[in-house]
Amino acid sequence: MKKLGILFIIIFAAFSCKKDSSLERDIQEIGTDITVERFDLLFARANIEDLNELKQGYPFMFAEKYPDSFWVTQMRDTLQQQLFAEVEKIFPNFDAIEMEIESLFNHLKYYFSEFTPPRVITTTSMVDYRNKVILTDTIALLSIDTYLGRDHEFYAGIQKFIASNLKKEQIVVDLSNAYAKKYIHQSQPKTLLDEMIYFGKILYFNDVMIPFKSEAERIGYTEEELQWARANESYIWRYFIERELLYSTDSKLPNRFINPAPFTKFYLEEIDNNSPARLGQYIGWQIVRAYMDKNRVPLRDMLAKRPEDIFINSKFKPRK
């Protein structure tokens, strides 16, 4: 009987893999074809005589409050020139990332038929890591000077837990995150559970839209951090439940369990320094995954579900 059960599991897993492969083939056949526009290179290589042409092609990149003399000064600025040189060294071409973006757009088109691929434009922002990706209905702006590598000299003054994801592998992840926030419909978070489910939705969105990225990349962890979260999932869940944190409205909880930080703040010395940050996001991800495993709900519908509905119907149980 036990052997039959194992055989059933193997057959089911094989069927699921075959089904997933077929789905991915259908999605890739959508065939989105984009050309990433390297505004950063165009501006870096431009002469004063090229300024008017650049402004005509990219009017949204030139704030009207600044006269032409301001942009000329920017072109000649030695710090800007150093920034441009470093960007060109790290990104001599954008082909691999362009393919990842095309795959993301194929998935978006498959699940949201109204989606129209935007112009994708790269720029520099004097390392404004708080605004790495800016989306409008027609433009996706990528500040690629925020993806030069975690140990780049330009990031020396940035906290390590932030700099750790300032790398090219995270570009399509950040772009997927930005689209997730556009498609999620959820009331302003009030409880820790609200926050957890909101970010769980984002991370599940990444599961669907960028399956070619590793799970660690989708959440912005190292592989070691992801393994720590998995190994301690049961403990983390018990901590939340025993302290009745899920429905708490304590405004300090997001900083402890949701927001970027060096580690998660359990206020337990033997655990805190070893833990990755944002474990509330991680648990929210597992709850949403459990919900989607147990309920036949289209992605679009799940993104609009109330957090409490998702939690109750997930019947979530942590790994042991």
SS3 318: coil
What's the whole-number mean pLDDT along residues 95-103?
Answer: 97
Same domain for 90 and 152?
A: yes
Q: Which of 206, 31, 169 is nearest to 105 (CA)?
A: 31
Same domain for 172 and 106?
A: yes
Tell me what percent of the residues of the chain surpass a pLDDT of 70. Answer: 94
Q: For residue 19, what pLDDT is reported?
A: 58
Q: Which of 50, 133, 37, 127 is nearest to 82 (CA)?
A: 127
Residue 75 lies in a domain: yes
Decide if 46 contacts 38 (C-beta within 8 A): no
What's the whole-number mean pLDDT along residues 80-84?
Answer: 93
pLDDT at 18 over 90: no
Phi, psi angles (nearest 5°) of residue 121: -130, 130
Same domain for 243 and 304?
A: yes
Same domain for 130 and 174?
A: yes
Decide if 172 contacts 97 (C-beta within 8 A): yes
Residue 23 lies in a domain: no
Same domain for 135 and 263?
A: no
What's the whole-number mean pLDDT along residues 53-80?
Answer: 93
pLDDT at 13 over 50: no
Q: For residue 21, what pLDDT is reported?
A: 78
**Among 162, 183, 204, residue at a domain's last position:** 183
Same domain for 65 and 161?
A: yes
Q: For residue 273, what pLDDT is reported?
A: 86
How many structural domains is the chain composed of? 2
**Among 122, 156, 183, residue at a domain's last position:** 183
What's the whole-number mean pLDDT along residues 10-26?
Answer: 61
Instruction: State the chain's mean pLDDT as an integer.
Output: 92
More confident residue, 145 or 20: 145
Residue 1 lies in a domain: no
Same domain for 177 and 282?
A: no
Q: For residue 122, what pLDDT is reported?
A: 97
Same domain for 44 and 178?
A: yes
CA-based R_g, the chain, Å: 22
How far apart CA 46 and CA 41 sit, in angstroms, is 8
Residue 225 lies in a domain: yes
Residue 20 lies in a domain: no
Q: Which of 227, 96, 118, 116 is nearest to 172 (CA)?
A: 96
Decide if 236 contacts 279 (C-beta within 8 A): yes
Task: pLDDT band for 5, please (50, 70, 90 cuts).
Answer: very low
Q: Which of 119, 120, 164 is nearest to 144 (CA)?
A: 120
- Give the structural domain span for 305: 192-314
**Among 157, 183, 209, residue at a domain's last position:** 183
Kindly report the length of the chain.
Answer: 320
Same domain for 223 and 255?
A: yes
160 Cβ contact partners less than 8 Å away, ≥ 6 residues apart? 150, 262
Q: For residue 270, what pLDDT is reported?
A: 78
Decide if 205 contacts 180 (C-beta within 8 A): yes
Same domain for 196 and 148?
A: no
Q: Structure tokens of 271? A: 């655990």
Strand 37-38 and strand 119-123: pairing? parallel
User: pTM for the full model?
Assistant: 0.92
Residue 247 lies in a domain: yes
Q: For residue 271, what pLDDT is reported?
A: 87
**Residue keyed to tokens 């942590």:** 318
Q: Which of 97, 123, 104, 261 is nearest to 183 (CA)?
A: 104
Residue 64 lies in a domain: yes
Q: What is the pLDDT of residues 259-318, one digit of tens each?
A: 999 999 999 877 888 999 999 999 999 999 999 999 999 999 999 999 999 999 999 999
DSSP 136: -
Tell me what percent of the residues of the chain surpass a pLDDT of 90. Answer: 88
Q: What is the pLDDT of residues 178-233, one digit of tens each?
A: 999 999 999 999 999 999 999 999 999 999 999 999 999 999 999 999 999 999 99
